[in-house]
Amino acid sequence: MARLYANENFARPVVECLRTLGHDLLTVLEAGKAEQAIPDEEVLSFATSEQRCVITFNRKHFKRLHRDQPDHAG
């Protein structure tokens, strides 16, 4: 299954549902990075270093990052 990294704005019930489906999901809170106003570039960099895809509702910013930094897990 997918290795995922849930951004702070991602709903906990969805996280649990994805885990139930067998996905390996790490949240920002579990990574010790919650409520630190970490820039989106650093969120993506951390996820990439962990070989995880970022899941977020922050589509606008991550769409730009996807275009500008194409070397990531998704």
Cβ atoms of 23 and 2 within 8 Å: the answer is yes
Sequence ranges of the domains in the chain: 3-68
Identify the residue whose tokens are 């977020």: 56
For residue 52, pLDDT beyond 70: yes
Residue 61: pLDDT band by 50, 70, 90 thresholds? low
Instruction: Kindly tell me if the per-residue pLDDT of 63 is higher than 90.
Output: no
DSSP string, 2-64: -EEEE-TTS-HHHHHHHHHTT-EEEETTTTT-TTS---HHHHHHHHHHTT-EEE-S-HHHHHH
Alpha carbon of 51 to those of 1, 13, 25, 35, 60: distances in Å?
A: 13, 23, 11, 23, 22
